[in-house]
Amino acid sequence: MKNIADNRFFNMILLFTIIGEFIVPWILEQFYSEYNGKIMVMSALGSPQSPVRLIYNLWLVWLGGFLAYTAGAYFLSLRAKFPILAVFMLLSIGIFAVGAGLISGFFSVNESKDIVTTASKIHGVGAAIGFMALLIFSLLNGIVSFKQNNMIEGIISISSFVLSLIFFACFVMGDKEQFQNTILKYEGLWERLALFCMYIPFVYNSMSNLFF
């Protein structure tokens, strides 16, 4: 029986979802004049002040739901050969799916960081834990790739991990007051770059299953 993770339809939806992670915010920000994608995080599109909040929050729920399914698919495809790594991958993707997807979709952050509510606190914790969990996926995928003697995918995954770590660090520092007059202030940009690098192994896996 073929693994779900190798299924063409599954990989088409996964690619669609990952591309949508960047295209959907870009489209929605065109209808939100106060939003600045370079400085503001993507979650602000789902804030109570946003005219596109319903659409973006529904998108986060879709993202979380499908990535939770993806976590299960990756786990099932790897558990026979790499049971321990499979569990860590399940947790890495699954925690991101729940924290940065489902929880973030149901509990909105506010447009202004000065406005703190219970929902924004839950959102902040969920998203932060989710991002940190997904950060190690590239590393795990690299280890699996090297164990399978797939050197190209291994190098791509480890490179993605290093870049993700750098961009995520820039994203975190961008929230600090002492960096507001530096290039690090572009939180939205660093967030997107970090996510882009975190998703590279998924894209590589999907493209490999679709075209090779």
pLDDT tens for each residue of 143-197: 999 999 999 999 999 999 999 999 999 999 988 888 888 898 999 999 999 999 9
> Which structural domain, as residue segments, surrounds residue 174?
4-205
**Helices (runs of H) and strands (runs of E) counted in the chain:** 8, 0
Residue 212 lies in a domain: no
Whether residue 137 has pLDDT greater than 50: yes
Task: Identify whether 93 is part of a domain.
Answer: yes
Q: Based on the number of CB atoms within 10 Å of its own CB, is 149 exposed (0-12), middle (13-18) or buried (19 or more)? A: exposed
What's residue 115's pLDDT? 75
And the tokens for 67? Answer: 């990535």
pLDDT at 23: 96
Is residue 33 a contact partner of residue 51, using CB atoms and an 8 Å limit? Answer: no
Number of domains in the chain: 1
Of 145, 119, 147, the residue nearest 49 (C-alpha)? 119
* The pair of three-digit structure tokens given for residue 197, joined into one six-digit string: 């690098």
pLDDT of the residue at 174: 84
86: Cβ contacts below 8 Å, ≥ 6 apart = 74, 75, 78, 79
In a domain, 43, yes or no: yes
Report the 10 Å Cβ neighbour count for 121.
12
Give the Å distances, CA to CA, from 126 to 19, 21, 132, 135, 163.
22, 17, 10, 14, 22
pLDDT of residue 1: 35
Whether 140 is covered by a domain: the verdict is yes
Helix 151-173 / helix 137-147 crossing angle, nearest 10 deg: 170
38-52: average pLDDT: 92
78 or 179, higher pLDDT: 78
pLDDT given for residue 2 in this prediction: 53
Q: Is residue 210 part of a domain?
A: no
What's the pLDDT score for residue 111?
75
Q: Which residues contact 188 (CB under 8 A, 6 or more apart)?
A: 36, 37, 38, 39, 40, 41, 42
Does 211 map to a domain? no
Q: Has residue 37 been placed in a domain?
A: yes
| Residue 188, in any domain of the structure | yes
